[in-house]
Amino acid sequence: MCTSGVFSIEGKKSIPIRMKACIGCKSCVEVCKERAITVRDLEREMSEIASLLLKDLL
């Protein structure tokens, strides 16, 4: 799911512990069956390489 290491698994729950590492790809939103995750617009931009790597997900 999150390749940026935003989440940590604690017990049976996924807890966002590094929210500043989020690149806004929204892959976590797509896999969350409970629709518990919202990704708001981020001010930072992705690098050209990151954009190319994630182009099929965005």
Closest distance to ligand SF4 from the beta carbon of 44 (Å): 11
Q: How many residues bind ligand SF4 (CB under 6 A)?
A: 12
Give the span between the Cα atoms of 49 and 41, in whole angstroms.
20
Cβ proximity to ligand SF4: between 6 and 15 the closer is 6
Give the span between the Cα atoms of 19 and 33, in whole angstroms.
20
54 binds ligand SF4 (CB under 6 A): no
Give the span between the Cα atoms of 20 and 12, in whole angstroms.
23
26 binds ligand SF4 (CB under 6 A): yes
